[in-house]
Chain A
Amino acid sequence: MADDHILETSGLTKEFRGFVAVNGVDLKVRRGSIHALIGPNGAGKTTVFNLLTKFLEPTRGRITFNGRDITAERPAALARRGLVRSFQISAVFPHLSVLENVRVALQTRLGTAFHFWKSERTLNKLNDRAMELLEAVDLGAFAGLITVELPYGRKRALEIATTLALEPELMLLDEPTQGMGHEDIDRVVELIRKVSTNRTILMVEHNLSVVSHLCDRITVLARGSVLAEGPYDEVSQNPQVLEAYVGAEHE
C-alpha cells in the first residue's frame, strides 16, 4: 500500500551556521506503529522533532505527512492536521490549573477560542472529557491544583494527557520518561501502550529497556545521520550502533 507510511522525510537536513545538526535523514514511520528515535546526546533527535513539527525550517529536504507535502506548513496548522508533539523539557501551562491545562487543548474543538465576550463558564461542558483524560493518567485527584505545584513526574503525565486531548493521529514524544523514577516510568509506558491503539507514535527515548518493551521499530541517529533502522533485536546487535553508544559514553 502506498500510504503505508504516515510520515516520511527525504534528505532532511538542518545546518546551524555551518554546523550540520541533522544530515540527510530519510525517515519512514509506519502507520499504527510505535517508532523510536534513539541516539547519543547531541545526535540531533530534538532537532529532527523541531523540523518535523515545523518549529525549525529545514535547510534542505522534504517532509510528507499522510502523503501530503508539509515542508512549507506552519506549526499550528500542522497540529490541527493531527501531528502533535510534546517537548523534552516538560511543557505545561504553570499558572493554569491542572484541569485547565487539558481543557485548553480540548477548546480547539469548540471553535470559540477568539470569543472574548463569552463567559469561561461556557467551557465547563469540556470538564467531563478533561477529567476522563486526567483519570487516564492518574491525575484526577490533582485537577484543581495550580500546575506549578505538581511534582515533575506528574507534569510529564499531564503533558501526555494534554497532547491526547487533541486525539492526534501521530504523536511525537520527546523523552517522555526523562527524569522519572521507576514507578512513574512504568506508569508512562503502560499509558503509551494504551494510547497507541488507533494512532502512531514516534518517540525519542534514552531508556533502552523502555524502547525494547514498547517499540516496533527503531531508528538510530548519530551525529545527525541515520546509523541503522529496524526492529530492536536487529538494531541492538549492529556493531556500529554499539560503537556509537559506547563511544559516546566514553566521550
Chain B
Amino acid sequence: MKNLQTVGYAALLLLGLVAPFAVYPVLLMKCLCFGLFACAFNLLLGYAGLLSFGHAAFLGMAGYICGYTVQSLGFPPELGILAGTATAGLLGLAIGFLAIRRSGIYFAMITLALAQIVYFFCLKAQFTGAEDGLQGVPRGHLFGVFDLSQPLTMYYTVLAIFVGGVWIIHRTVHSPFGQILKSIRDNEPRAISLGYDVDRFKLLAFVLSAALAGLAGATKTMVFQLASLTDVHWHQSGEVVLMTLLGGMGTIFGPVVGAIVLVLLQDWLTGFGSWVVVLTGLIFIICVLAFRRGILGELLALKARML
C-alpha cells in the first residue's frame, strides 16, 4: 500500500516533468499556482474544519508585494516570492487572530469582511498601481543563475515551488500538530477537555494556510508578470472554495484536481464570454450533486470498494 503510494507520487512527478512538452507551459503553470492555492486553502477547510471566505487577500497581497519588490525595489525573484509569502503569513496572523474566536458562518463572514478591507486597501494604495495593477514585472534570474524568461526554466521553477508547497502541507497534515488539528476539527470541546488551547492551533493552521496561499500568489505574479485586483477580489475567494469542493476536501490532492479542472474549463470556455461563469456554476452544481466527496474523493471511494 505504502509502495503503491510512492509509485503513484513518482508517476505524478514524472508527468509534471514531461507535461510542458505536450501542453502550453503558461497554462500548466496557471494550474500549478491555483492547485497550490486550493491545497493551502484546504489545509484550513479539510483539516481544521474552518471555512475561510477571504483567501483571495493572501493570494492577491502576496502577488502585489512580490511584484512591487521585484519591479520597484529590484529584488531577485526568490526574494520577491519570499517577501510575498511572508507578508501573506503576517496578514494571516492578523486576520486569523480576529477571526478564529468565531466558528461556522461567523468565521466565514469575518474573513470575508477583512478580505474586503484588504481589497479596498489595494484599490487605494499607491504601490499596487490601483486599477491598472502592476504590469511587466521582470522575471529576472533565479539565484542570479537561472534565466526565468525561458519558458521551461520558469516552468520547472514553478513545479519545484508547487512540489515544495504541497510537501509542506502533506507534512503538516501528517505531523503531531496535524493530529491535534484533526481532533479539533472532529470534536472541539473534547480537544479542549484534553487540555489543548484550540485557538492557538487554529491560528497556526491559519497562518500556514495564508502563507502558502501567498506563495501561490507570489509565484503567479512571476509567471504572468502581473499583479492585479482580480486576485484580491472576493470572486477569487469563492473560486477556491469551488475548486476544493469540486476536487474533494477530504484529501490533499483533491483540491489540486479541482483547481486543474476549473482552470482548464475556463481556458476552453473563454470563447463564450461571460457565459463562462454560468457554465462553471452549472458544472459545479452537477459535480456537487453527483459526487459529494468531490472528484478525487469519489475515485478513491470507488477504488476502496473494488479492493
The answer to whether A and B belong to the same complex is yes
B91-133: CB near A (< 8 Å → 1, else 0) gives 0000000000000000000000000000000000000000000
Q: Is the CB of B193 within 8 A of A87?
A: yes
Known contacts A96-B182, A115-B177; is-contact A104 B194 (Cβ 8 Å): yes
Q: Is the CB of A93 within 8 A of B190?
A: yes
Secondary structure dominating the interface of A: loop
Residues of chain A within 8 A (CB-CB) of B198 are 76
Q: Which of A53, A95, A117 contacts B186 (CB 8 A)?
A: A95
Known contacts A84-B194, A91-B193; is-contact A117 B175 (Cβ 8 Å): yes
Q: Is the CB of A166 within 8 A of B195?
A: yes
Q: Is the CB of B196 within 8 A of A93?
A: no
Most buried by B among A76, A91, A100, A112: A76
Q: How many whole Å from B214's CB to the nearest CB in chain A?
A: 17
Secondary structure dominating the interface of B: helix
Beta-carbon contacts under 8 Å, B2-53 to A: none
Chain A, interface size: which category?
35 or more
Q: Is the CB of B176 within 8 A of A110?
A: yes
Nearest A residue (CB) for B199: A76
Residues of chain A within 8 A (CB-CB) of B230 are none
Complex CA–CA separation, A107 to B189 (angstroms):
17
Q: Which of A80, A91, A93, A119 contacts B182 (CB 8 A)?
A: A93
B132-143: CB near A (< 8 Å → 1, else 0) gives 000000000000
Residues of chain A within 8 A (CB-CB) of B191 are 93, 104
Known contacts A92-B187, A93-B186; is-contact A114 B177 (Cβ 8 Å): yes
Residues of chain A within 8 A (CB-CB) of B179 are 96, 100, 103-104, 107, 120, 123
Cβ-based interface call for B174 (8 A): yes
Smallest CB-CB A-B distances: 7 pairs: A79-B195, A116-B177, A93-B186, A91-B190, A80-B195, A116-B172, A112-B176
A residues within 8 Å of B by Cβ? 53, 55, 74-77, 79-80, 84-87, 91-96, 100, 103-105, 107-108, 110, 112-120, 122-123, 162, 166
